[in-house]
Amino acid sequence: MGLTILVIGSGGREHVIAQKLIQSPKVRTVYCAKGNAGMKNDGITLVDIAENDHPALIKFAQENGVDWTFVGPEIPLLNGIIDDFTDAGLLAFGPVKAAAEIEGSKDFAKDIMNKYQVPTAEHQTFSDFAKAQAYVVKKGAPIVIKADGLAAGKGVVVAQTDEEAIKALKEMLEKNKFGASGAKVVVEEFLFGEEFSLLAFVRGQEVYPMVIAQDHKRVYENDLGPNTGGMGAYSPVPQISDEIVKEAIETIVKPTAKGMVEEGRAFTGVLYAGLIVTESGPKVIEFNARFGDPETQVVLQRLESDFAQIIDDLLKGKEPQIKWKQNGYSLGVVVAAEGYPNFYRRGCQLPDFSDLETGQIYYAGVKEENAQFVSNGGRIYLVESSGKTLKEAQKAVYDVLKAVDTKGTFYRKDIGFKGIK
Ligand code: AMP
Ligand code: GLY
């Protein structure tokens, strides 16, 4: 008899996670709470329970013979969903609340990095506007201002001038732009260099790195405009050498996992390191306690082993066997609502991809209305394709997008540009 799995979350990341799980011959049923209408195409069963309703999710898992639960987004992790499932005697994959703090508080993450000598941008934390302003003036722009807590990828301002930095400080510390998340801010040195995302399966001190990816955080081509949750990604990243990746695993991921164990906050789950390759090697700009979105949509394409088996082994104390495809590229482009990451409308009719010949669609902000998909969020869907070269993968994705009507939505036309010479 196959496994019954519950996935928590509703974005493109959860779509690919649920899809890879259901493709496993070891899996019989994948439920997703709440999921999104687009997932039904892949045979995923939607469950109408909110991701913060832990008692209802626990009850559902118990009553429906769920073998284990995979938690996608950070908010339930930081609400202690793993702790609650564990207390109820249920298996669930992800870090406990105390470990998820590595994403929940940038100040805490910086303390861990300082204590365990993990290379990161020089920084200081403030809750007082005048002191923060004085620090910005002393250090000078470019400089980076980050809300301490969660802000859906939007709480980071890379300021090119002192004025811009001070305006951001004022908005967060005095005007409460991000509420409690911005009551403390981290002011950080601007790092020059290529950025990449290194994700790893972590179980206490054990670290199983994934293949790397590069996201595109800015909303417009050539990395202009405000930060978003991510507008597209690709994997592998040819301009980042294997040596740099190895260095990042040894100097960043392993010491962080070990540090968390020593702190009594052992991390089990996916640890995501956002890194910049500086002249003195890779340095951390952020940690997340979960898979990245849209990185997961391209990284999991390159997994050769059975995803469900890996998670099952990690949950059951066994040694996972993890193999990655060594050849080929995967690239994904996010289609977002016009106006995102600021004000945008919902209800935009989406193209019909039912006879798509190449590539895959991962849905996020969608719902069904009169048997048609309409937009229901900022990031709506992602088109993914694989190819022998990065250019081939990129062309395949843009060919799909050019052939459909994308009115009311937009996408970056240059995803992958840094990897294509
Ligand atoms: P984060 O949400 O921390 O990943 O920040 C969003 C984006 O801001 C990153 O993807 C980087 O492009 C940029 N960023 C963050 N911190 C720094 C830094 N210290 N130096 C340069 N760029 C940064
Ligand atoms: N793609 C960035 C993130 O998931 O945080």
pLDDT, tens digit, 9 for 90 and up, residues 225-249: 988 889 999 999 999 999 999 999 9
- Cβ 230 under 6 angstroms from ligand 2: yes
- Cβ 150 under 6 angstroms from ligand 1: no
Residue ending a domain, choose from 292, 315, 338:
315
pLDDT of residue 194: 96
CA nearest ligand 2 atom 5, residue: 292
Residue ending a domain, choose from 315, 340, 355:
315
Distances (CA, A) of 382 to 19, 126, 331, 375, 406: 14, 37, 10, 13, 12
- Please give the chain's pLDDT, 421 residues, in tens: 599 999 999 999 999 999 999 999 999 999 999 999 999 999 999 999 999 999 999 999 999 999 999 999 999 999 999 999 999 999 999 999 999 999 999 899 999 999 999 999 999 999 989 899 989 999 999 999 988 877 766 688 899 999 999 999 988 888 777 777 667 898 999 999 999 999 999 999 999 999 999 999 999 999 999 888 899 999 999 999 999 999 999 999 999 999 999 999 999 999 999 999 999 999 999 999 999 999 999 999 999 999 999 999 999 999 999 999 999 999 999 999 999 999 999 999 999 998 888 899 999 999 999 989 999 999 999 999 999 999 999 999 999 999 999 999 999 999 999 999 7
334 and 411 fall within a common domain = yes
Dist. CA 130 → ligand 2 center (Å) = 31
229 and 142 fall within a common domain = no
CB count, 10 Å around CB of 104? 24
pLDDT of residue 180: 72
Task: Report the alpha-carbon distance of residue 285 to residue 27 in Å, rounded.
Answer: 37
CB count, 10 Å around CB of 53? 14
- Cβ 384 under 6 angstroms from ligand 2: no
- Cβ 22 under 6 angstroms from ligand 1: no
User: Domain holding 15: CATH number?
Assistant: 3.40.50.20
CA nearest ligand 1 atom 1, residue: 286
Region of 281 (left: φ > 0; alpha: ψ -120 to 50; beta: rest) is: left
Which residues, 6+ apart, have CB-to-CB distance to 241 below 8 Å?
Answer: none
Q: DSSP characters for 62-100?
A: HHTT--EEEE-SHHHHHTTHHHHHHHTT--EES--HHHH
Which residues, 6+ apart, have CB-to-CB distance to 72 below 8 Å?
Answer: 7, 8, 9, 11, 13, 14, 17, 290, 291
Residue 371: inside a domain: yes
Q: Three-class SS of residue 390?
A: helix
86 and 145 fall within a common domain = no
48 and 139 fall within a common domain = no
Ligand 1 atom nearest 217 alpha carbon: 10
Candidates 290, 315, 314; CA nearest to 101 is: 290
Residue 105: inside a domain: no
74 and 33 fall within a common domain = yes
210 and 309 fall within a common domain = yes
Residue ending a domain, choose from 72, 96, 120:
96
Task: Report the alpha-carbon distance of residue 196 to residue 152 in Å, rounded.
Answer: 19
Ligand 2 atom nearest 13 alpha carbon: 4
User: Domain holding 179: CATH number?
Assistant: 3.30.1490.20
297 and 410 fall within a common domain = no
pLDDT of residue 102: 97
Ligand 2 atom nearest 291 alpha carbon: 4
Which residues, 6+ apart, have CB-to-CB distance to 342 below 8 Å?
Answer: 226
CA nearest ligand 1 atom 4, residue: 286
Task: Report the alpha-carbon distance of residue 171 to residue 340 in Å, rounded.
Answer: 20
CA nearest ligand 2 atom 3, residue: 292
pLDDT of residue 182: 65
Task: Report the alpha-carbon distance of residue 287 to residue 275 in Å, rounded.
Answer: 9
* The pairing of beta strand 360-363 with beta strand 156-159: unpaired
Peptide bond just before 76 cis, omega within 30 deg:
no
CA nearest ligand 1 atom 15, residue: 285
Expressed in percent and rounded to 5, the helix, strand and coil fractions of the chain are 35, 30, 35
- Cβ 295 under 6 angstroms from ligand 2: yes
Residues 90, 58 contacting (CB under 8 angstroms): yes
Tell me how many domains the chain contains: 4
Question: Nearest ligand to the C-alpha of residue 194?
Answer: 1
CA nearest ligand 1 atom 18, residue: 190
Task: Report the alpha-carbon distance of residue 192 to residue 215 in Å, rounded.
Answer: 16
Sheet holding 123-126, edge to edge: 123-126, 185-189, 143-147, 156-159
Q: pTM here?
A: 0.95
214 and 285 fall within a common domain = yes
| Residue span of the structural domain in which 150 resides | 128-183
Which residues, 6+ apart, have CB-to-CB distance to 104 below 8 Å?
Answer: 74, 78, 149, 150, 289
Dist. CA 119 → ligand 2 center (Å) = 20
Residue 117: inside a domain: no
pLDDT of residue 357: 86
260 and 293 fall within a common domain = yes
- Cβ 292 under 6 angstroms from ligand 2: yes
Segment (H or E) for 333: strand 329-337
Ligand 2 atom nearest 230 alpha carbon: 1
Q: In 139-184, which ranges are E strands? A: 143-147, 156-159
- Cβ 121 under 6 angstroms from ligand 1: yes
Candidates 96, 144, 141; CA nearest to 284 is: 144
Residue 236: inside a domain: yes
> How many residues are present in the chain?
421
Task: Report the alpha-carbon distance of residue 309 to residue 67 in Å, rounded.
Answer: 12
Dist. CA 287 → ligand 1 center (Å) = 11
Q: Three-class SS of residue 55?
A: helix
DSSP state of 213: B
Residue 119: inside a domain: no
pLDDT of residue 114: 96
User: Domain holding 280: CATH number?
Assistant: 3.30.470.20
Question: Nearest ligand to the C-alpha of residue 9?
Answer: 2
pLDDT of residue 1: 52
Residue 104: inside a domain: no
Residue 247: inside a domain: yes
Residue 21: inside a domain: yes
Q: Three-class SS of residue 337?
A: strand
199 and 298 fall within a common domain = yes
Helix ranges, 146-238 (H): 162-169
- Cβ 107 under 6 angstroms from ligand 1: no
385 and 412 fall within a common domain = yes
- Cβ 235 under 6 angstroms from ligand 2: no
202 and 295 fall within a common domain = yes
Rg from Cα positions in the chain: 21
Q: Best mutation site among 288, 290, 382 for ligand 2, i.e. most ligand atoms within 8 A of its Cβ?
A: 288
pLDDT of 207-225, one tens digit each?
Answer: 999 999 999 999 999 999 9
- Cβ 284 under 6 angstroms from ligand 1: no
User: Domain holding 346: CATH number?
Assistant: 3.90.600.10
